[in-house]
């Protein structure tokens, strides 16, 4: 794991300096040149080659505003890097291996590093990488979860129109409220 | 010198929590070892954050990474974290004969034999069939799809009271609306002196004069030993065989079938893309299991279907995709656009459950860690094709499109793990006898999903629970 001279983990370091607002000076992911708002997440910035590679991977799995023609946010804006570099996740320990895998596939297909490819090329490189290491699909799930689960930010949930957890839908018409089909059994159980 | 009690139970889910009460009621001194924490409603979150779920579940990859299985890791086990669907297995389940001609359920166990034990669990957990106005729109939509084909669809039975339909059943009910073992069997057992030791993980056991000694690691990482005149293993269909396999040096006469015959209940997940113009299915509103069950294909195919409600997190865990064309990958720009366009109004998830032969296996690595494997055999592929054919019929009959899960079109079920220590009369074909007692080892019982000899045709929780009641009844009367 990347550390700074004060022996903080990189994640701790970013969080700590974020408290002093210095984090605003970092190239944080943002869409359409919008300023950081109150609810905007503090995403880790991609500074090293490994981090830039994972950021490019995240942008391949759920393309964000730099890639999606609609300008809608994606996994990068949902702070997928924070999850990849979360100490509780097993990715950090094999980060270099995974980057080598992606770069290896990218060079074999296009003679360039993964971060230098366009979306279509990155897509093909990910597919090739999955063939070489089926375990990669777990990293893809993790990246998708940053966007669709929404624990660092609700940016993906808002994009989908999901209102989020709540006190329940009893009074919000969750049911059609009427019989929808004939039934085979008297009590829900087959004999 | 090891601590001694009458009964040591490993696992506090349906398989362990139920015998704990019944044996405590019989005056036995019971200690139950549970590897998870004592979580209650105040500890649960409405979240699918994998870091949170990792505190409740233990997830295991298959060796070829084509599937994963999850085991509950909390006091009360699966009763706390399952969808709440409680259905009786149809009669034909107990008559199932596999491809080798082997009748997998022992003759002693029939639906009629199970009925009184189903009654016990249903009464204790207040299980009842939901009303139509308690069926989420996802369930109503699926019922309508079947009605359009002239097929039936039945309302499901649950152990809920006044469900708020928030959709986080499998992350732990934050509103205490699911009636679990934490509300019933476990506190009742504790009131009778049973002790539930949480964060205690059993490793192995060995035979001692007058019983068995269980070795476990406590919450502080210290190794402990406890002896029981009886030992009941109920640590899940993944962990229970692993405990036995780790104990093989001490229990040399164990059946060769330990860990064999892993059965995922024939689970296959599909998604329908509903046609335009239909009322919104509102996928995110409603209990995880969308409260209807289709039995219409049971007689011909031995398959049942039920839909689910899912928050968007489903798109991270399940690889929902089209078979061809835009959206044929479970990620990427086209996938994102497909999800945006159709979720939550028109993407409806459905789980198929079917009677299939047991072709998987659970084992341990050299250092004793579990592995699981379900090879993709021609037999399984044929079953998948059969299920897909039925689903395609439902889709086409409604102008819907059938979507797929996982890159090969087959998402193995991850929660309905069965049959790894199956019951039977023949030690060459089974691990324990029809009452859960391990062949050659009197006083050593198994009472969880691993004893269930094959698929249950429906969600297996109620059958696992009723079977645990049946085994507990046998022990009380005979041991």
Gap from B252 CA to chain A (nearest CA, Å): 36
Q: Does B129 touch chain A (CB under 8 A)?
A: yes
Contact B336 A178 (CB under 8 A): no
- Give the predicted TM-score (pTM) of the model: 0.91
pLDDT given at position A24: 32
Q: To the nearest whole number, what is the mean pLDDT of chain A?
A: 81
pLDDT given at position B241: 98
Spatial separation of the C-alpha atoms in residues B258 and B246, rounded to whole Å? 11
- Strands B195-197 and B30-33 come out as parallel
Spatial separation of the C-alpha atoms in residues B400 and B168, rounded to whole Å? 27
Contact B144 A181 (CB under 8 A): yes
Binned at pLDDT 50, 70 and 90, residue A171 comes out as: low
Task: Give pLDDT tens digits for B406-461.
Answer: 655 455 557 799 999 999 999 999 999 999 999 999 999 999 999 999 999 999 99
From chain B, the residues in CB contact with A92 under 8 A are none
From chain A, the residues in CB contact with B143 under 8 A are 180-181
Contact A151 B49 (CB under 8 A): yes
pLDDT given at position A30: 54
Contact A185 B295 (CB under 8 A): yes
Gap from B272 CA to chain A (nearest CA, Å): 18
- For residue A191, give Cα distances in angstroms to A186, B359, B460: 10, 27, 16
Contact A165 B47 (CB under 8 A): yes
pLDDT given at position A161: 85
Q: To the nearest whole number, what is the mean pLDDT of chain B?
A: 94
Q: How many CB atoms lie within 10 A of CB A131?
A: 10
Closest residue in B to A164 (Cα–Cα): B311
Spatial separation of the C-alpha atoms in residues A106 and A113, rounded to whole Å? 6
From chain B, the residues in CB contact with A59 under 8 A are none
Question: Of B214, B156, B293, B207, which is closest to residue B35 (Cα–Cα)?
Answer: B214
Task: Give pLDDT tens digits for A64-109.
Answer: 999 999 999 999 999 999 989 988 777 888 899 999 999 999 999 9
From chain B, the residues in CB contact with A129 under 8 A are none
Two tokens, residue B27 = 């005056």
Contact A175 B140 (CB under 8 A): yes
* Mutate which: B121, B172, B285, vs A, most A CBs within 10 A: B285
Task: Collect all residues with Cβ–Cβ distance below 8 Å to B226 and sequence separation of at least 6.
Answer: B2, B3, B4, B5, B8, B31, B33, B213, B214, B216
Contact A160 B152 (CB under 8 A): no
From chain A, the residues in CB contact with B155 under 8 A are 183, 188
Spatial separation of the C-alpha atoms in residues B103 and B453, rounded to whole Å? 10
Contact B65 A137 (CB under 8 A): yes
Gap from A58 CA to chain B (nearest CA, Å): 9
Spatial separation of the C-alpha atoms in residues A82 and B443, rounded to whole Å? 51
Closest residue in A to B292 (Cα–Cα): A188
Q: What would the DSSP string read from start to end of A56-120?
A: HHHHHHS--TTT-TT----TTTTTHHHHHT-TTSTTGGGHHHHHHHHHHHHHHHHSS-GGGS-HH
Write the residue in A123, A149, A177 that is nearest to B132 by C-beta.
A177
pLDDT given at position B314: 85
Average pLDDT, 10 consecutive residues per value, chain B (479 residues): 94 98 98 97 88 88 77 96 96 96 96 98 98 96 98 97 89 94 98 98 96 98 98 97 97 98 91 94 90 98 94 85 88 95 92 93 95 88 92 97 72 79 97 98 98 97 98 97
Write the residue in A60, A86, A151 that is nearest to B47 by C-beta.
A151
Core vs surface per residue B169-204: b (16+ CB within 10 A) or e: bbbbbbbbbbbbbbbbbbebbbebebebbbbbbbeb
From chain B, the residues in CB contact with A179 under 8 A are 132
Q: Does B354 touch chain A (CB under 8 A)?
A: no
pLDDT given at position A3: 36
Binned at pLDDT 50, 70 and 90, residue A21 comes out as: very low
From chain A, the residues in CB contact with B318 under 8 A are none
ipTM entry: 0.94
Residue ranges of B 161-190 with Cβ closer than 8 A to chain A = 163-166, 168, 175
Write the residue in B87, B90, B165 that is nearest to A174 by C-beta.
B165
From chain B, the residues in CB contact with A142 under 8 A are 50, 316
From chain A, the residues in CB contact with B88 under 8 A are 189-190
Contact A175 B314 (CB under 8 A): no
Write the residue in A145, A156, A176 that is nearest to B50 by C-beta.
A145
pLDDT given at position B86: 98
Contact B90 A178 (CB under 8 A): no
Contact B165 A156 (CB under 8 A): no
Burial status of residue A182 (CB atoms within 10 A of its CB: 0-12, 13-18, 19 or more): middle
pLDDT given at position B455: 95
Q: What share of chain B is helix, strand, coil (3-state, %, to 5)?
A: 30, 25, 45
């Amino acid at each position: 794991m990347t550390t700074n001279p004060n022996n903080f983990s990189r994640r701790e370091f970013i969080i700590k300096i974020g408290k002093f607002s210095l984090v605003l000076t970092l190239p944080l992911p943002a869409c359409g040149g919008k300023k950081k708002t109150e609810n905007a997440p503090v995403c880790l910035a991609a500074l090293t080659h490994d981090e830039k590679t994972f950021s490019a991977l995240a942008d391949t799995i759920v393309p964000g505003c730099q890639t999606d023609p609609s300008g809608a946010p994606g996994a990068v804006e949902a702070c997928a890097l924070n999850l990849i570099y979360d100490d509780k996740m097993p990715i950090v320990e094999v980060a270099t291996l995974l980057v080598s895998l992606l770069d290896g596939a990218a060079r074999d297909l296009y003679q360039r590093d993964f971060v230098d490819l366009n979306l279509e090329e990155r897509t093909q490189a990910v597919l090739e990488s999955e063939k070489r290491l089926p375990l990669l699909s777990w990293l893809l799930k993790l990246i998708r979860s940053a966007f669709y689960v929404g624990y660092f930010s609700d940016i993906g949930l808002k994009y989908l129109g999901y209102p989020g957890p709540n006190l329940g839908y009893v009074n919000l018409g969750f049911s059609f409220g009427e019989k929808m089909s004939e039934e085979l059994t008297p009590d829900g159980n087959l004999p | 010198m090891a601590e001694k009690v009458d009964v040591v139970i490993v696992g506090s889910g349906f398989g362990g929590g139920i015998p704990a009460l019944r044996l405590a009621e019989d005056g036995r001194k019971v200690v139950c070892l549970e590897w998870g924490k004592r979580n209650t409603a105040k500890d649960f979150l409405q979240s699918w954050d994998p870091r949170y779920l990792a505190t409740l579940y233990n997830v295991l990859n298959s060796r070829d990474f084509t599937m994963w299985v999850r085991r509950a890791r909390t006091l009360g086990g699966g009763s706390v974290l399952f969808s709440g669907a409680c259905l009786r297995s149809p009669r034909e389940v107990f008559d199932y004969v596999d491809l080798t001609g082997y009748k997998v359920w022992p003759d002693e166990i029939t639906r009629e034999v199970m009925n009184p034990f189903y009654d016990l669990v249903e009464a204790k957990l207040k299980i009842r069939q939901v009303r139509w106005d308690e069926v989420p729109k996802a369930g109503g939509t699926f019922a309508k799809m079947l009605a359009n084909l002239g097929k039936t669809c039945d309302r499901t039975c649950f152990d809920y009271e006044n469900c708020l339909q928030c959709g986080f059943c499998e992350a732990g009910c934050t509103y205490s609306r699911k009636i679990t073992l934490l509300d019933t069997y476990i506190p009742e057992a504790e009131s009778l002196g049973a002790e539930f030791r949480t964060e205690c993980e059993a490793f192995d056991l060995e035979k001692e004069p007058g019983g068995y000694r269980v070795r476990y690691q406590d919450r502080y990482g210290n190794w402990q030993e406890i002896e029981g005149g009886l030992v009941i293993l109920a640590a899940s269909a993944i962990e229970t065989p692993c405990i036995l396999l780790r104990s093989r040096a001490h229990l040399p006469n164990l059946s060769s079938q330990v860990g064999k015959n892993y059965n995922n209940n024939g689970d296959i997940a599909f998604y329908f893309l509903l046609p335009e113009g239909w009322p919104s299915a509102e996928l995110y509103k409603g209990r995880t299991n969308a409260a209807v069950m289709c039995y219409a294909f049971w007689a011909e195919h031995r398959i049942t279907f039920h839909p689910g409600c899912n928050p968007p997190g489903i798109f991270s865990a399940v690889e929902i995709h089209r078979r061809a064309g835009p959206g044929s990958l479970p990620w990427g720009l086209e996938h994102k656009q497909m999800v945006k366009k159709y979720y939550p109004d028109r993407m409806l998830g459905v789980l198929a459950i079917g009677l299939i032969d047991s072709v998987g296996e659970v084992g341990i690595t050299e250092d004793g860690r579990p592995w699981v494997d379900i090879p993709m055999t021609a037999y399984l592929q044929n079953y998948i094709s059969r299920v897909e054919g039925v689903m395609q019929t439902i889709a086409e009959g409604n102008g819907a499109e059938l979507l797929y899960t996982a890159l090969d079109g087959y998402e193995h079920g991850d929660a309905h793990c069965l049959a790894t220590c199956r019951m039977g009369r023949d030690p060459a074909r089974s691990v324990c006898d029809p009452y859960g007692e391990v062949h050659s080892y009197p006083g050593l019982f198994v009472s969880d999903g691993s004893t269930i000899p094959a698929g249950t045709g429906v969600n297996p929780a109620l059958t696992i629970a009723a079977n645990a009641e049946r085994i507990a009844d046998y022990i009380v009367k005979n041991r």
